A = this chain, B = another copy of it.
Amino acid sequence: MDLRTICLGLLTLGDRSGYELKKLFEDGSLGSIAGVSFGAIYPALGKLANEGLVSCRAEAQKKRPDKKIYSITPAGRAAFVEALMDPVAEDRFRSTFIFVMYFAHLMPGERLRELLSERIASAEQRIAQLRALEPLSTCPSHRFVIGLGLATYTAELTYLKRQRHSVEAPAKRRLDDLREPCQLSPSLHGQAAGSSS
């Protein structure tokens, strides 16, 4: 789903300027998941206006550039509802953290601990953001998204903490295990395949 459609969707919730749209996205439940940049929003809005899916009125402001307030048109609303029927694309997920952890055995232990702490902190922050949003959101759809975010971030946090715990505990294991050398199981090697199974 491209930004164009996301903007369209956000505009079903009320009229907004590009600037406000970005805030709404980032401060809302979707923001705990990803960000957007102006360099993408403004052109998207322009295109939407070209296609007649949104209308735009300029609101003059003293000593500030005109604020361009966009409203979704009936055609835009129809197009958006239509878009909700399209087959959903798979999640596009790229996590440097996960990738880097896949190579934990190549890092100094100190770095490993640092990485884990950072990740725990950021998960806690996202959870806090979602919890703060919860009482403000009366709409069940939004509560669903918040609940989903909360469920997954909490699970990640629990997992991460359990992993880190082992370092600080007297038994001091597990995290150090991560530094053990790595070897792939033959079935993942796929080299000179021996016609398995």
Chain A interface residues (CB < 8 Å from chain B): 1, 6, 9, 12-16, 20, 23-24, 27-30, 33-35, 80-81, 84-85, 88-107, 111, 115, 118, 122, 136-142, 144-145, 147-148, 151-152, 154-156, 158-160, 163, 174, 177-185, 187-191
A15 to B: closest C-beta gap in Å? 8
Beyond A105-B140, A180-B139, whether A111 also contacts B96 by CB under 8 A is no
Cβ of A140 and Cβ of B84 under 8 Å apart?
no
Cβ of B9 and Cβ of A102 under 8 Å apart?
yes
Give the distance in Å from the alpha carbon of A182 to the alpha carbon of B29 in the complex.
Answer: 14
Give the distance in Å from the alpha carbon of A191 to the alpha carbon of B28 in the complex.
Answer: 14
Q: How many copies does the complex hold?
A: 2
9 additional A-B residue pairs with CB within 8 Å, beyond A30-B102, A34-B92: A1-B94, A15-B191, A29-B102, A84-B100, A91-B94, A102-B141, A136-B185, A148-B160, A151-B159
7 contacts between A and B (CB under 8 A): A23-B190, A80-B103, A85-B111, A88-B96, A89-B96, A98-B145, A104-B140
Give the distance in Å from the alpha carbon of A173 to the alpha carbon of B16 in the complex.
Answer: 33
Lowest 6 A-B CB distances belong to which pairs? A155-B155, A139-B182, A104-B141, A151-B159, A136-B185, A140-B177
Residues on B with beta carbons closer than 8 Å to the beta carbon of A93 = 33-34, 91-95
Give the distance in Å from the alpha carbon of A156 to the alpha carbon of B163 in the complex.
Answer: 20
Beyond A97-B88, A189-B14, whether A102 also contacts B145 by CB under 8 A is yes
A112 to B: closest C-beta gap in Å? 10
